Chains A and B, each alone.
Chain A
Amino acid sequence: MNYEKEEFFAPGHGMCAGCAAPIIVKWVLKLAGPNTIVVNATGCLEVATTAYPHTSWRVPWLHVAFENAAAAASGIEAAARAKGEKLNIIAFGGDGGTVDIGFQALSGMVERGHNVLYVLYDNEAYMNTGIQRSGATPWGAWTTTSKVGNANPIGKLQPKKPVARIIAAHNAKYVATANPAIFNDFKKKVEKALSYDGARFLHVISSCTTGWRHDPSKTVEIMKLASDTGIFPLWEVVDGDLENMRITYKPKKFKPVEEYLKPQGRFRHLLKNPEYVKKLQEQVDAWWAKYGHHYNP
């Protein structure tokens, strides 16, 4: 059954104009169809779509708290097993609820092999509380807790946590990074993730116009640049086989990282110093030098 014409995520919610998360959710649900239960970690998506007595969710939806979406999903899946049901159980969490505070519950869920698809919409900081740094914030990004000043001209001093690789290393059934701006690849991966049984994890980049500080009309453009500059590589791993990671997307010609940084206020300070831009470019080049041979469209 093809549900691409049906909406399971209703408009009228309070997500910001230009936020990528609703694009991700809308398409995951279209591809999953109505036989689905959603679990949502605390975060923008939960807050802005379920202001009682309204809801944007046309599938059953549960929110418990910030750090336990994966645990709540584990419980639903156990109940579904007890009832002999077959349905999609999909958890959505931001980078805070997934990479940091919710990491333990996620690790447990994946290790136990629950039949759940966990979708991380990664906007690279705690945006719901107002742009604080997370484990998923990239090196050099300004946030309200990695501020830029005379003593720290860089912003966040640590690199992004490679959460998808870590989850893949749990021997999860299927792990992929995805980008809704590279739509065909994104769609294929959602479909593929839905086709498997077991613990599945999609790490989806999700621009936040207020946190990344860009014009709301530029969301898709900027997210596309994330993969076209190589800073957010798109790959997949089945059964934890990281040796055989498959890079699914590579631009014909990589754009310089600077093009990704330029339209985003969070990186403005880096552009003042070519050394910083160079350092970030080197990080990207190093990743591709190490893993580029995995490209296999």
Chain B
Amino acid sequence: MKAMIRGNESIAYAFKLARVKVIPAYPITPSTLVPEKISEFLANGEMDAEFVPVESEHSAISAAIGASAHGVRVGTATASQGLALMHEVLFIASGMRLPIVMGIGNRALSAPINIWCDHQDMMSQRDTGWMQFYAESNQEGLDLGIMAFKIAEDERILLPAMVGIDAFVLTHTVEPVDIPEQKDVDDFLGEFVPHYVTLDPEKPATLGSFGFPEYFMEFKYGQWIAMERAKKVIDEVFEEFHNKFGRKYSKVTPEFLEDADIVLVTMGSMTSTTREFVKKLRKEGKKVGLLKLTTFRPFPKEELRALLKDVPVVAVVERNISFGFGGAVYAELAATFANESKKPKIIDFIVGLGGRDITFKTLNEVVGIAEKALKEDVDEVNWIDVNKEAVLKAEGLL
């Protein structure tokens, strides 16, 4: 069924179609519409689930753990400060190997307080042991939402997953979305079976126990192995989804890569703008390509090495910043090539923080610097569309 829906509704539909049983959630801009839509589904009798209107995001993820540990499929949604408030508990969800799925309306972190799009919230949860997917469109938000359950619940994996949809650009923007039939999603996901130890009075088990140094690392190594195995399982699930629903997904999607001198690496909704920009450059005869990163955790090192090793300059265009180093994607891509003999020159571009628009002008500047990098050294980390003069004055440097 084709419908015009907002990105938040994509997440809500993914939960409904996945027959999620418990949804603990706390509203936060820009993901508030997810629990609102769930509430509407429940009020209309279109969904059979328990909504827990918790008093904080910390309690949302804690309740999600409780429900998942009791053996039901669980989904929740948050953004920004809410995700940051969940931080300590995110480690516990993954450490306990509970396949919870969470929709994130990717939004900047304070200060200054800002409700608009960047990827700082999810990037800051990089090391919590959750798989991370970034959607380019509302269709992707819905599809990745459904697939995230299948990947997370696979008995080889058992890790929680986040699906990021960009604040406002996706969360609040109406797009045409093909909503799959319930029967097809039922076939695709199958009945929920918890492939983990649950809280069952018939078979009492202790979950979340105290791990001394002689046991702790084995638990962590298990998570490492699961995340490594997820690379293959993600491919399998993407393939199965393609066969059933006709839409193709990959951890990384190359476009116009053949003979490219410069490849722009993007995530989320900015990919659409970048694609149009690259098409324009190609028409002008410029050898520029695009590589969309859908999966950030696990980081698809192998695919990235294969696709980018012969590219002269890779421009990472990203909406996050790790102060004192650079963007997170840049750091990981640079590390991915650290031990390779054939590698691209990798340049970082910090763009679109706190919802600043990413336009052709932005990308033009990026490509300008990348072209310069073909011939000479340029700065490693480049801030684009920033009033640098004003900042340098304020910092007493001008």
- A interface residues, Cβ below 8 angstroms from B: 34-37, 39, 46-47, 50-53, 55, 57-65, 67-68, 70-83, 87, 104-105, 107-108, 111-112
Closest to A111 in B: B55
CA distance A71 to B66 in the complex (A): 8
Interface SS of B by simple majority: mixed
Q: A52-B212, A68-B89 are in contact. Are A58 and B204 (CB under 8 A)?
A: yes
22 A–B pairs (Cβ distance < 8 Å), ordered by A: A47-B210, A55-B209, A59-B204, A60-B199, A61-B205, A62-B207, A62-B208, A64-B89, A65-B89, A71-B66, A74-B24, A76-B70, A77-B66, A78-B22, A78-B24, A78-B66, A79-B66, A82-B48, A104-B55, A105-B59, A105-B62, A112-B54
CA distance A80 to B199 in the complex (A): 10
Our count of residue pairs bridging A and B at CB distance below 8 angstroms stands at 159
Chain A nearest CB: distance from B42 CB in Å?
A: 12
- A75 pairs with B66, CB closer than 8 A: yes
Contacts of A104 in B (CB 8 A): 55-56, 58-59
What 3 pairs between A and B have smallest CB-CB spacing?
Answer: A75-B66, A75-B63, A108-B55
Pick the residue among A57, A87, A108 that contacts B204 (CB under 8 A). Answer: A57
Chain B nearest CB: distance from A14 CB in Å?
A: 10
Q: A51-B209, A67-B58, A71-B54 are in contact. Are A79 and B22 (CB under 8 A)?
A: yes
Contacts of B92 in A (CB 8 A): 64-65
CA distance A3 to B210 in the complex (A): 28
- A74 pairs with B66, CB closer than 8 A: yes
Q: A72-B62, A78-B22, A104-B56 are in contact. Are A63 and B209 (CB under 8 A)?
A: yes
Q: A55-B209, A62-B207, A64-B92 are in contact. Are A39 and B21 (CB under 8 A)?
A: no
- A62 pairs with B69, CB closer than 8 A: yes
Per-residue A-contact encoding for B51-86, CB less than 8 Å = 1, 0 else = 011111011101111111111101000000000000
Contacts of A47 in B (CB 8 A): 210
Chain A nearest CB: distance from B100 CB in Å?
A: 10
Contacts of B63 in A (CB 8 A): 71-72, 74-75, 78
- B210 pairs with A68, CB closer than 8 A: no
Contacts of B56 in A (CB 8 A): 104-105, 108
CA distance A46 to B206 in the complex (A): 11
